[in-house]
Structure 1
Amino acid sequence: MKFIEGMRAVSEGELQVNNITRHQVTRFYREQITKGGYYEQLRRVVEPSIEEFETRGSLDTSGEHANTVVPGLQHKYAQTGLLLVTDRCASYCRYCFRKRMVGRKSDEIASDFAQVAQYIGQHPEMTNVLLSGGDPFVLSTAKLNEILDHLLPIAHLDSIRFGTKMVAYEPRRFDDPALLSLFQRISQAGKTATIVTHFDHIGEISVDAERRIRSLGTQHVQFLNQSVLLAKVNDDPQVLAATFTRCHQIGVRPYYLFQGRPVKGGSHFQVALRRGLEITRGINQRLSGIHKTFKYIMSHDTGKIEILALGDDGRVYMRYHQSKSPEKIGKIFSRAYVENACWLDDLPEK
């Protein structure tokens, strides 16, 4: 098998034991990163590395199993339902935090959408649903419409979100004219359609992606972007500032820069918290006020934690941006910093 470091003989059993994600990348993305001048960085997003055999971690870093309420539906935060609609993607990211299921047949995927809708209907506090997976846009538009058949009649849902990296991996997917009708259905039902793109690097924002985003924007589709801070890929304030600026230029609002998760086979992508804070400060120094829309977030099993600062007192200051426990939301807390710590659990509680 070909790895970034060279060829290596591996057995199928070795790949399975180490949860090595299958190697699959679209021709479009390969050509984009080859021609764009960032190949050495962006190849790490999709090409296997020997380091995947050597990095420890968890396969469920955010407590997804504990928050699954019906098969395929998670309800961790009161207002949001997370719906896993597929276990497939167009290409497979090497740092994926769902590598336990993505790219393989999984029983974590929703199959009974009537059951899903029944649960949502009984929980009026849930105002939005995020379709995720895998990537929902690997599904046919007909299948997506079938899912919407169950969601759109629920009166207290005001937003339908789609989490996708397809805009980077295969933007031509959005040429499907039936998708326009799908987004119109959402709008006509009185709900907002939002596509959450996943651009980790300015080198992923192609001319083709821009064209599709601008076109869908005329159909009242909102765009947000989430990025992951990745060692040797985008751990550079100049690169991320350029990425976020470019997102704003094409109508996509950056809203999360995620701290890399300690996922098994992917924790070598993590950046130390000290360095992460230096990078976010460097990003903000390069952005105008209207472009400073992102939050530096750690998606921990206790909630989404905004990483604020490393104080002169040697403590990391953080705030709960979202939490399963409502009393934690907005709460600022701190922990003593440990050099090279990358995750909340690396920091002592006192």
Structure 2
Amino acid sequence: MNFIEGTREVTKGELQDHSITRYRVTKFYREQITDGDYYDQLKHIVEPTLKEFESPGNLDTSGEHDNTVSPGLQHKYAQTGLLLVTDRCASYCRYCFRKRIVGHQSDEIATDFNQIARYIKDHPEMTNVLLSGGDPFVLSTAKLHKILDHLLPIPHLDSIRFGTKMLAYQPKRFEDPALSALFQRINEAGKAAVIVTHFDHIGEISVNAERSVCSLRAEGVQFLNQTVLLAKVNDDPEILAATFGKCHEIGVRPYYLFQGRPVKGASHFQVSLRRGIEIVRGINQRLSGIQKTFKYIMSHYTGKIEILDLGADGRVYMRYHQNKTPEKIGKIFSRPHLEGAGWLDDLPEG
């Protein structure tokens, strides 16, 4: 198997033991990064490294198993249902936090949409559903229509979201003329159609991606972007400010900057909280007020935690952006900072 450091002979057992996925990347993305100016950074997103053998962590950093209410459906936060519709992606991100699922025949993927629809109907507090996986846009448009058959009649759902990195990996997917009817269907059902793109770096925003976003926005699709803070890839305020600025320019609202998760085989991507806070300060110094729409988030087992600052008192200040317990949402809390800490569990209580 080819690694960034060179070729190494590995057994299937070694790959499984260290949770290392095989190298898979679209021809489009490979050419996009090799022909661009950022190959030395972007290669780390898709090319394996020997560091994956020594990267500790676990495979369910956010407690997805504990929040699964029906096969393929998670209900962690009251208003949101997370629907895992496929275990496939166009390419394999080396930092993937769902590597336990992606590329495998996973039993965590939704199959019984009648059962899922019944659960959602019985929970009127759920106002939106996020289709994820894997990447929902590896599925055919016809398959996506069949999923919508179960979701669109539910009156208390007011938006349908699609989480995807396909606009970076294979933007041609969005040139499918049949997609227009899919999004029109959502809008005609009185619901918002939202695509959450996954641009980690300005070098991923191709001309093709821009064109697809422009076309879909004309169809009434709303766009948000999530980015993961990744060592050696985008741990630079200049790069991230340029990425968020470009997103804003093409009509994609920067939404989340995720702190890297301590995922087995991928925790070497994590930057320290101190460094992350410094990077976020640098980003905000470079953006105008209307471009500062992102939150620096740690998607922890207990909830989505917004990382606010490292105070002069040596404490990391945070607040819950989302939590299973509504009373905790918005509450600011802090923990003593520990040098090198990259996750809430690394910080001592007190």
Q: In which range does the TM-score fall when normalised by the shorter chain?
A: over 0.9
Which blocks of at least 5 consecutive residues in structure 1 are unaligned? Answer: none
Tell me the distance in 2 between the aligned counterparts of 1:35 and 1:253: 27
Determine the structure 2 residue equivalent to 1:228.
Answer: 228
Determine the structure 1 residue equivalent to 2:339.
Answer: 339
TM-aligned CA deviation for residue 16 of structure 1: 1.1
Percent of aligned pairs sharing the same letter: 78
State the Cα deviation string for residues 161-216 of structure 1 (Å, max 9, x = none): 00000000000000111100000000000000000000000000000000000000
Shift >6 Å, 4+ stretches: none
The one-letter code sitting in structure 2 at the alignment partner of 1:183 is: F
SS of structure 2 residue aligned to 1:190: coil
CA RMSD of aligned residues (A): 0.4
SS of structure 1 residue aligned to 2:305: strand
Aligned 1:1-350 pairs, distance under 5 A: 1-350=1-350
SS of structure 1 residue aligned to 2:334: strand
TM-aligned CA deviation for residue 35 of structure 1: 1.1
TM-aligned CA deviation for residue 339 of structure 1: 0.1
TM-aligned CA deviation for residue 310 of structure 1: 0.2
Tell me the distance in 1 between the aligned counterparts of 2:121 and 2:202: 40
SS of structure 2 residue aligned to 1:316: strand
Tell me the distance in 1 between the aligned counterparts of 2:267 and 2:172: 32
TM-score (norm 1): 1.00
Tell me the distance in 2 between the aligned counterparts of 1:331 and 1:307: 12
SS of structure 2 residue aligned to 1:321: strand
Tell me the distance in 1 between the aligned counterparts of 2:281 and 2:67: 33
TM-aligned CA deviation for residue 325 of structure 1: 1.0
Tell me the distance in 1 between the aligned counterparts of 2:193 and 2:202: 24
Tell me the distance in 2 between the aligned counterparts of 1:38 and 1:200: 12
The one-letter code sitting in structure 2 at the alignment partner of 1:281 is: R
Tell me the distance in 1 between the aligned counterparts of 2:348 and 2:147: 44
Tell me the distance in 2 between the aligned counterparts of 1:34 and 1:283: 26
TM-aligned CA deviation for residue 36 of structure 1: 1.2
TM-aligned CA deviation for residue 289 of structure 1: 0.4
TM-aligned CA deviation for residue 327 of structure 1: 1.1
The one-letter code sitting in structure 2 at the alignment partner of 1:106 is: S
TM-aligned CA deviation for residue 131 of structure 1: 0.0
State the Cα deviation string for residues 143-176 of structure 1 (Å, max 9, x = none): 0000000000000000000000000000000011
Tell me the distance in 1 between the aligned counterparts of 2:22 and 2:152: 35
The one-letter code sitting in structure 1 at the alignment partner of 2:217 is: G
Tell me the distance in 2 between the aligned counterparts of 1:45 and 1:191: 34
SS of structure 1 residue aligned to 2:256: strand
SS of structure 2 residue aligned to 1:37: coil
The one-letter code sitting in structure 2 at the alignment partner of 1:101 is: I
Which blocks of at least 5 consecutive residues in structure 2 are unaligned? Answer: none
TM-aligned CA deviation for residue 21 of structure 1: 1.1
